[in-house]
């Protein structure tokens, strides 16, 4: 006989518990422990790598150790660009008291409105935010002295450009990440940048390094880059160009100086320019390196190439007379005129007086193919061989499409386009006795190798004609230089706008060489839209050429080949265009 047990007077506790329920609970507990064991096994064994990486993301960091960017030097070792230590300001927004009394002083030191500073610190979900990159060292010290919780500093490098506006278009600049954006800084960015190092560390929540977890990989600093530019020649050329642009109320201007022995570019300057140390509100007008990026119709500066080709083909000699009367010629229904009509002119006089009619009569004795090949060999229509951003090829249409009137106008510089760099490069043909050299922006101590375009004898003959062009009766008398003989050619071209030419808008050009007997330099000058009553190349661009030549040859130590005395400069003859 079984005996019942009275557990309690409670009906719930008095009820009998089914055996299966207790077994179910035990089974659930066992299953839960099995799941935990399986999860632990997965975390510790199977998926260990993944969870290790996730953990490291939260406390381990790989710090980049920036390499010191290489310096940019001129040919004499003077610094054109260098890196200096600069502190960058960053913050942990959640740690910064938005009502801190010193925030106003911090905003003043950072040269930003207090509202902008508070906006940057507003997102408390972030553990890192840049406040301002690369502040000057005195400012960084004052910020550190404020001792605001949550505001920190990180050491970086900042570029400085001692030559400022004068060399801006050559050197260019870097961005806040120290990557080249313009000029040489961009063209040689990979070489200058070096190779960054690294450091693997563990950080706490405040960004402080607790310990290193791996050997430090040291950075490899970028090597220095020595340019062909002479900073003294560069500054002087830029200064004279700037003055000419202001004097003639011009839109812009460019100048380039090339050493004809080594092919080195001694100066390359543009106006307007900019200060690469202070780059706020820069415009495209300021940034354009017009020497390389802007193309224009070269006008009368092309006439010496026609004379040289005619000499090479045996069509004429320097003394060959050509009838230019009555000062005009009609081809295909279009009439070409001379500004100063004459009758019979020799080939030398045609270049001296810049006769369109005489030039066209020589050109029409040649085939379009012969003209095209000569222009192409002289570098027209070909992209310059310089590793510089934005260099253009200009325009030289295939000769098969030339009509007679187009062949005629191309002989005196209309119907094709070129950059000032290409024009200066082409004129090395006359400085190097018929060989054209490819200019370089890097320092070179070895003579440049040339490409033969004309015979040496005929190139020298044209060089003598260029010398006549700056003498009384020529179009470039204002290019004469005290102490040195010079030769060159002026050019005046109407500016194209759309499919036609703009009324009253011109480009004034002068390109030449010095000294005439043994040329050491080629200088080319272009002034865009002079608007102060004068627009001929011989009046606007030639004086810049003159002053640049004189200063450059003195700096290079070239001995004067003429008596050093004031010259009586005759008014230049206005060239035909």
Query: How far is it, in rounded angstroms, from Cα 172 to Cα 161?
Result: 9
- Would you call 300 a catalytic residue per the annotation? yes
Query: How far is it, in rounded angstroms, from Cα 480 to Cα 512?
Result: 11
Of 363, 361, 364, 329, give the one whose Cα is nearest residue 345: 361
Q: How far is CA 14 from CA 8, 21, 24, in A?
A: 6, 16, 21
| Two structure tokens written together for 37 | 């064991």
Residues facing 527 on adjacent strands? 253, 508
Pairing of strands 79-91, 129-135: antiparallel
Could you write out the DSSP letters of every residue in 107-165? HHHTTS-HHHHHHHT--TT-S-EEEEEEE-HHHHHHHHHH--TTEEEEEEEEEE-TTGG
Query: How far is it, in rounded angstroms, from Cα 549 to Cα 482?
Result: 10
70 Cβ contact partners less than 8 Å away, ≥ 6 residues apart: 191, 192, 193, 194, 221, 222, 223, 224, 225
Pairing of strands 435-436, 328-331: unpaired
Pairing of strands 500-514, 487-497: antiparallel
**Peptide bond connecting 326 to the previous residue in cis, omega within 30 degrees of 0:** yes
- Out of 83, 88, 254, 300, pick the active-site residue: 300
Query: How far is it, in rounded angstroms, from Cα 201 to Cα 209?
Result: 6
Q: For tokens 């911090």, what's the residue?
A: 106
Q: Which residues are marked as active site?
A: 300
């Amino acid at each position: 006989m079984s005996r019942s047990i009275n557990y309690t007077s409670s009906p719930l506790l008095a009820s009998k518990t089914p055996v299966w329920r207790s077994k179910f609970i035990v089974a659930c507990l066992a299953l839960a422990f099995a799941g935990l064991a399986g999860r632990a096994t997965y975390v510790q064994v199977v998926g260990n790598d993944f969870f290790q990486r996730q953990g490291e993301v939260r406390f381990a960091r790989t710090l980049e150790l920036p390499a010191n960017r290489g310096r940019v030097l001129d040919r004499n070792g003077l610094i054109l660009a260098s890196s200096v230590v600069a502190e960058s300001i960053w913050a942990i927004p959640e740690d910064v008291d938005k009502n801190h009394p010193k925030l106003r002083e911090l905003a003043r030191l950072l040269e930003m409105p207090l509202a902008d500073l508070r906006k940057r610190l507003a997102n408390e979900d972030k553990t890192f935010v840049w406040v301002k990159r690369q502040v000057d060292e005195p400012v960084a010290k004052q910020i550190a002295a404020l001792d605001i919780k949550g505001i920190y500093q990180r050491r970086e490098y900042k570029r400085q450009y001692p030559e400022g506006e004068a060399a801006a278009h050559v050197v260019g600049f870097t961005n806040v990440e120290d990557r080249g954006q313009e000029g040489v800084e961009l063209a040689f960015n990979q070489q200058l940048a070096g190779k960054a190092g690294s450091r693997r560390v563990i950080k706490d929540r405040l960004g402080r390094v607790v310990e290193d977890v791996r050997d430090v990989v040291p950075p490899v600093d970028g090597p220095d880059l020595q340019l062909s530019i002479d900073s003294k020649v560069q500054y002087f050329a830029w200064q004279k160009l700037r003055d000419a642009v202001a004097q003639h109320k011009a839109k812009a201007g460019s100048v380039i100086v090339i050493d004809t022995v080594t092919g080195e570019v001694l100066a390359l300057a543009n106006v307007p320019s900019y200060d690469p140390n202070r780059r706020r509100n820069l415009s495209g007008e300021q940034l354009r390196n017009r020497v390389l990026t802007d193309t224009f119709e070269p006008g009368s500066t092309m006439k010496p190439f026609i004379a040289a080709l005619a000499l090479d083909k045996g069509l004429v000699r320097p003394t060959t007379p050509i009838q230019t009367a009555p000062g005009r010629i009609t081809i295909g229904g279009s009439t070409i005129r001379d500004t100063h009509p004459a009758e019979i002119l020799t080939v030398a006089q045609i270049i001296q007086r810049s006769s369109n009619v005489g030039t066209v009569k020589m050109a029409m004795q040649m085939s379009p193919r012969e003209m095209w090949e000569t222009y192409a060999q002289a570098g027209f229509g070909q992209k310059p061989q310089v590793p510089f951003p934005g260099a253009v090829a200009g325009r030289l249409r295939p000769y098969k499409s030339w009509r007679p009137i187009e062949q005629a106008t191309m002989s005196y510089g209309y119907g094709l386009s070129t950059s000032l760099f290409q024009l200066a490069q082409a004129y090395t043909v006359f400085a190097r006795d018929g060989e054209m050299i490819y200019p370089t922006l890097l320092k070179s101590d070895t003579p440049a190798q040339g490409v033969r375009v004309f015979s040496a004898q005929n190139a020298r003959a044209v060089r003598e004609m260029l010398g006549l062009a700056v003498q009384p009766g020529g179009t470039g008398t204002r290019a004469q230089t005290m102490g040195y003989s010079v030769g060159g050619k002026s050019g005046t071209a109407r500016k194209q706008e759309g499919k036609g030419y703009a009324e009253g808008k011109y480009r004034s050009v002068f390109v030449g060489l010095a000294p005439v007997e043994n040329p050491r330099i080629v200088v080319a000058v272009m002034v865009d839209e002079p608007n102060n009553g004068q627009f001929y190349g011989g009046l606007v661009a030639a004086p810049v050429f003159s002053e640049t030549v004189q200063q450059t040859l003195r700096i290079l130590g070239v001995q004067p080949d003429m008596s050093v005395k004031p010259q009586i400069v005759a008014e230049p003859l206005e060239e035909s265009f």
